[in-house]
Amino acid sequence: MKNKIKPLAGYVLVEPAAREQKTPSGIVLPDIAEEKPQEGKILACGDDLIEEGKTIKCPVKVGDKVIYKKWGGNEIKVEGKELLLLKFEDIMALVSS
């Protein structure tokens, strides 16, 4: 799947983290009641972005876990999986293991 999608300059491909299906007290949540995750794993990185003569390097690498803006990115479906195409600027933090 990784080879099928190559983000363009300034974008990354992210696999959102799995959504919680239960609350800590054990209540099962339907999909419509859940907030979308804001954490995911980088699957592919686009080339560095050149804007107004300045080069903006990709701030992450494949395999990094990141936190991104709540409403950032565009959802796409590839082989039945929901993925996100995010701009570099929508990535807010790296998550360490």
Q: Which of 9, 15, 8, 4 is nearest to 65 (CA)?
A: 15
C-alpha dihedral sign at 76, 78, 81, 84:
negative
Is residue 46 assigned to a domain?
yes
What are the structure tokens assigned to 7, written together? 């983000």
Residue-level pLDDT at 34: 52
Is residue 83 assigned to a domain?
yes
Rg of the chain taking only CA atoms, in angstroms: 15
Alpha carbon distance 26, 29 (integer Å): 9
φ, ψ of residue 68 to 5 degrees: the values are: -125, 165
Look at 61 and 79; give whichever has higher pLDDT.
Answer: 61
Is residue 50 assigned to a domain?
yes
Domains of the chain: total: 1
Is residue 78 assigned to a domain?
yes
* CATH classification of the domain holding 72: 2.30.33.40
Is residue 82 assigned to a domain?
yes
Is residue 26 assigned to a domain?
no
Residue-level pLDDT at 4: 82
Is residue 28 assigned to a domain?
no
Is residue 27 assigned to a domain?
no
Across the range 58-72, mean pLDDT stands at: 92
Q: Per-residue pLDDT tens for 17-56?
A: 876 666 677 776 665 545 566 899 999 999 999 999 999 9
Residue 9, domain extent: 2-18+35-95
Residue-level pLDDT at 44: 95
C-alpha dihedral sign at 60, 19, 86, 89:
negative
What are the structure tokens assigned to 69, written together? 């803006």
